[in-house]
A and B are shown apart, each in its own frame.
Chain A
Amino acid sequence: MGRAMGVAGLLAGLLLVPAVLLGAGFGRGEPPPDPQPAPSEWGTGSDAVPEDSLWPLPQSLRTSRLRLQLAPERFQVVHGAGSSAGPACGLLQDAFRRYYEYVFGRSGWRKPHRASPSARGELSQLQVVIASPEPGCDGFPHLASNEAYHLTVTEPVAILKADEVWGALRGLETFSQLVHEDDYGSDAMAFNKFNVLHWHIVDDQSFPYQSISFPELSNKGAYSYNHVYTPTDVRLVIEYARLRGIRVIPEFDTPGHTQSWGKGQKDLLTPCYSGEQPSGSFGPVNPILNSTYDFMATLFKEISSVFPDAYIHLGGDEVSFNCWKSNPEVKDFMKKQGFGIDYAKLESYYVQKILDIVSSYNKGYMVWQEVFDNNAELKPDTVVEVWMANNYAHELSRVTRAGFTAILAAPWYLDYISYGQDWTKYYRVEPLNFPGSEKQKRLLIGGEACLWGEYVDATNLTPRLWPRASAVGERLWSSRNVTNLEDAYKRLSNHRCRMLSRGIAAEPLFVGYCPHEARWQ
């Protein structure tokens, strides 16, 4: 339906198919018992229209051909009877308004409208009921948050039940996807039910994080004064994410990938030698100086308080030993410690000390797989992120056999672009397809789509990310058996048009069109 067709056409499209939906996170969450609608009313999901665009697909779904109308001037999202959350729950109040706007449009064409001839009744309310006595309105989402919800749409009131607010957010997204002709938007991650933003905030090239304890790090290490994230920016990101049920896990990768740190923190990096003389270039963080650990203790203390999540990503990948090997003081230290010529031991020594520092702040940590591969001693609750594409199933098997929690990123490096429909490649991945016991499988807690920044900035980020990351979003949310590519193509095409209509410049899957092309233009 084109915009040119005018208000009547849009309004006639504002219909909701009564539905029962159960959603749950990746392998967890106990759905409440489902009510039984009258059998004759319910058809299969595939021949009704709106669910053709549900993304990611709910764990369980039953729909009817009955259509209900929604009138913008009458329809309300409210707290239901018996809910432990009320108008004091700012997170839900915000979400109610946000989703009302997605459904009806922000500017709101509050013009008189005709009833749709095909609609039998009207839906006047969506009641949201939070069951848990601790709804979580002011808290942060965490690894054990319950994102399950149960949505029942019947005339005249729809009921969305969830244990915690995080499930209610997921259910509101689904509700909005059930409504035809929806509008507007802001955060594409929530549209895809992603719940963790892994913020790889600093690396070799630049240090844009403005540290309170060490302001010189970004003063000297950022590309420019314009290219920093101030404490206010960081807080904004964290709160924006929280309101959408998204955790923010920062990564401060050490001891490698730290070239930009050296500019603002003297003596932090290892001076490399060329023969007997310092060459003027620097290597990884210098692991032999006490001052290094004093610095890290202060920095990670700050990070621990700035980022509320229980986890910090500590990196630990791709440490090159060349510079350490060239440095005579490092060599002396190796000898003293009895490391021989095994520089992986020096790396472990460093990582160990960092892990101890971070543990002392009551934070858990995530590390890239090398830290595990190099046999650094890890706390049992360490989360190991598997990123190397070569035989990642085997790595998952090893990590979980050793009893560690694992996260999969290897098959989902979205920065690796190629010609054609590469989303199918990401979609086809089955994370649990690795050799291992049931217990091992339970240790895989999910995955991450990665968009590394060598070739990506604000100019091409959004179309490169969406809808390709949506393929990962569904793999991590939906049931294991949701694997039909044709069905996914159809739903994902519609989902990308919905993202477009919400103002996200999601690129096309293939030839075709959306009713509303690129409204931000």
Chain B
Amino acid sequence: MAPVAIAARALLLLAAVGPAAALWPQPQLQRSPPAPARCPLPPARFRFAHAAGSAVGPGCAVLDEAFQRYWALIFAAARPAENKQPWRTSCTELLISVATPGCNGFPNLDSKESYKLNISRDSMLLYADAVWGALRGLETFSQLVGRDENGMYYINETEIVDFPRFPHRGLLLDTSRHYLPLKAILETLDVMAYNKLNVFHWHIVDDPSFPYESFTFPELSRQGAFNAMSHVYTASDVQTVIEYARLRGIRVIAEFDTPGHTLSWGPGAPGLLTPCYLGKDPSGTYGPINPIFNTTYQFVTSLFQEISSVFPDYFIHLGGDEVDFTCWKSNPDILVFMKKMGFGEDYTKLESYYIQRLLDIVSSLGKGYMVWQEVFDNGVKVRPDTIIHVWKNKPPYAEEMANVTKAGYRALLSAPWYLNRISYGQDWMAAYQVEPLKFNGSTKQKDLVIGGEACMWGEYVDVTNLTPRLWPRAGAVAERLWSNATVRNLQDAYVRLADFRCELLRRGVQAEPLFIGYCDHEFGGF
């Protein structure tokens, strides 16, 4: 009855979490002696501390809070009795040394995330160029700590030199198709940090609902949210997300997708959307944003002014995907406008006209932008520093990556990483086996690939199934974007990822199993 017998028995059945040291994602370089010395960590006495000469000292919120978090993550299950064990050990302190100052800023595309970890019997040292790298190193350190059968915490002698392969390692959440409570977003940010992901792409509004509470246009969420009271993100919610992310070295890039995917904007912004016609009369339905009125651009300017100030990241995602021309074609005013502008029958020209004006507005606000690939495909003139987000599988995404970079634009890959598209079995493997740079192009072109994003679109996902659907599957993408291109052995990845998901469970994350097996700490239960 259970078809497993046929399917996957060939694959190793990994059982329990062994002793520590299965790292995820795999560091760039790790050296351990053949028989590494094991150093006990005493929970009561252990502390994180700033090394002498570090450019960053006490009072740096990013590190102070990280110290607290990681102490709790490492020693969560420590009981007081064990704390008193008189272990003779020198491993009582991890010293953190940061080369460049800066604790109050936001991480950005150029932030340094590299770090070095030296663990020996004599000392434990973490070096980083910037606090963001120190955060990554603390995560690795926490994964290095194991616990033996007597409940003793320990760490093995080792040396790690690590840095990300790509600077943009993102995760997209869609809060329009289903509303995700704030807590679900914050928990996702925690798990992103465990996976060394560093960009939260917040697809905050779309056709079905407008949960973003705008202070410039409060009617947008009042009329466009599923529920204006309970299914919205207030200004303080948004601030919470941004600061929570910052403390974990994660950027928040908001997407306000136009001119399509805007049906929920309509009720709160009369006159914004294009009225569709049925013959000579308006049909009562609406299409994309109406690109022919000046009022549209006034609205867009005010809204993006607000967005630019609310979201500190340099980049805003402007969407621009899947614009359906049917409604524009039905509208007599638009037909007149097309003629006046000399666009003929080519509605991509009208789309370009809108997007061009939008890009100008956003540029004038001092922001950079990301757009979905259609904007590039339709030949819209964009600034040279625009990031083109590749999401389509037809034509093959490798072709698109080649085209985008050939034109000199930076590219971001998501096409093979639509994690909302579930299937039976171990589909993390397909995500893992992707090689982002496998396309025809020069080295210079390859350098234009800044990374990728795992996408969790919300048609079938809400808070009930988000976490197990994301983790550990998004972990596969995280390793592909962080680790060396040569790290792609599936068996090895299986063992480490199964181990890592047990670690996630231990940390209270509802991460689903890869396959048959168990973890010492199962989720929930009585």
Asked if A110 CB lies within 8 Å of chain B CBs, one says: no
| Complex alpha-carbon distance, A452 and B514, angstroms | 14
Contact with A521, one of B227, B463, B516, B522 (Cβ below 8 angstroms):
B463
> Contact between A511 and B524 (Cβ–Cβ < 8 Å)?
no
Residues of A within 8 A of B515 (CB): 454-455
Residues of B within 8 A of A30 (CB): none
Encoded as 1 (CB less than 8 Å from any A CB) or 0, chain B from 1 to 38 comes to 11111011000010110000000000000000000000
Asked if B385 CB lies within 8 Å of chain A CBs, one says: no
Residues of B within 8 A of A413 (CB): 3
Give residues of chain B (453-491) contacting chain A, Cβ–Cβ below 8 Å: 458-465, 467-469
User: In whole Å, how far is B233's beta carbon from the nearest beta carbon of chain A?
Assistant: 13
> Contact between B1 and A450 (Cβ–Cβ < 8 Å)?
yes
Give residues of chain B (490-526) contacting chain A, Cβ–Cβ below 8 Å: 505, 510-518, 520, 522-525
- Known contacts A459-B505, A460-B468; decide if A318 and B5 are in contact (CB<8 Å): yes
> Contact between B465 and A505 (Cβ–Cβ < 8 Å)?
yes
> Contact between A203 and B226 (Cβ–Cβ < 8 Å)?
no
- Known contacts A2-B227, A417-B422; decide if A513 and B512 are in contact (CB<8 Å): no
- Interface size on B (CB < 8 Å)? 56
Residues of A within 8 A of B183 (CB): 521
User: In whole Å, how far is A92's beta carbon from the nearest beta carbon of chain B?
Assistant: 25
User: In whole Å, how far is B320's beta carbon from the nearest beta carbon of chain A?
Assistant: 21
> Contact between A368 and B1 (Cβ–Cβ < 8 Å)?
yes
- Known contacts A459-B513, A507-B460; decide if A513 and B422 are in contact (CB<8 Å): no
Residues of B within 8 A of A521 (CB): 181, 183-184, 463
Task: List the A residue with the shortest CB-CB distance to B182.
Answer: A521
Query: Which of A31-39, A220-228, A265-273 touches B?
Result: A220-228
Which bucket holds chain A's interface residue count? Answer: 35 or more
Give residues of chain B (209-227) contacting chain A, Cβ–Cβ below 8 Å: 209, 226-227
Asked if B423 CB lies within 8 Å of chain A CBs, one says: yes
Asked if B421 CB lies within 8 Å of chain A CBs, one says: yes
> Contact between B459 and A511 (Cβ–Cβ < 8 Å)?
yes
Give residues of chain B (167-206) contacting chain A, Cβ–Cβ below 8 Å: 177-179, 181, 183-184
Residues of A within 8 A of B15 (CB): 223
Contact with B13, one of A205, A419, A507 (Cβ below 8 angstroms):
A205
User: In whole Å, how far is B201's beta carbon from the nearest beta carbon of chain A?
Assistant: 19
> Contact between B4 and A513 (Cβ–Cβ < 8 Å)?
no
Contact with A458, one of B208, B229, B425, B523 (Cβ below 8 angstroms):
B523
Contact with A224, one of B8, B226, B465, B518 (Cβ below 8 angstroms):
B518
Contact with B465, one of A450, A456, A463 (Cβ below 8 angstroms):
A463
Contact with B423, one of A385, A418, A509, A510 (Cβ below 8 angstroms):
A418
Give residues of chain A (364-401) contacting chain B, Cβ–Cβ below 8 Å: 368, 385, 387
Residues of B within 8 A of A418 (CB): 422-424
Give residues of chain A (50-94) contacting chain B, Cβ–Cβ below 8 Å: none
Residues of A within 8 A of B16 (CB): 223-224
Give residues of chain A (446-465) contacting chain B, Cβ–Cβ below 8 Å: 450, 452-460, 462-464
> Contact between A518 and B464 (Cβ–Cβ < 8 Å)?
yes
Asked if A206 CB lies within 8 Å of chain B CBs, one says: yes
- Known contacts A450-B1, A507-B462; decide if A459 and B523 are in contact (CB<8 Å): yes
> Contact between B525 and A458 (Cβ–Cβ < 8 Å)?
yes
User: In whole Å, how far is B422's beta carbon from the nearest beta carbon of chain A?
Assistant: 5
Residues of A within 8 A of B424 (CB): 415-418, 455
> Contact between A512 and B513 (Cβ–Cβ < 8 Å)?
no
- Known contacts A454-B515, A457-B523, A515-B227; decide if A505 and B421 are in contact (CB<8 Å): no
Asked if B309 CB lies within 8 Å of chain A CBs, one says: no
Asked if A4 CB lies within 8 Å of chain B CBs, one says: yes
Asked if B317 CB lies within 8 Å of chain A CBs, one says: no
Which are the 10 A-B pairs with shortest beta-carbon distances?
A463-B465, A460-B468, A2-B230, A513-B226, A223-B518, A4-B229, A505-B464, A460-B512, A507-B465, A518-B463
Known contacts A419-B421, A454-B2, A460-B512; 6 further A-B pairs (Cβ under 8 A): A4-B229, A205-B13, A419-B422, A460-B513, A464-B465, A507-B464
Jot down 16 A-B pairs with beta carbons below 8 A, ordered by A: A223-B15, A315-B1, A368-B1, A419-B420, A452-B2, A455-B513, A456-B512, A459-B505, A459-B512, A460-B465, A462-B464, A463-B465, A507-B460, A507-B462, A518-B181, A521-B184
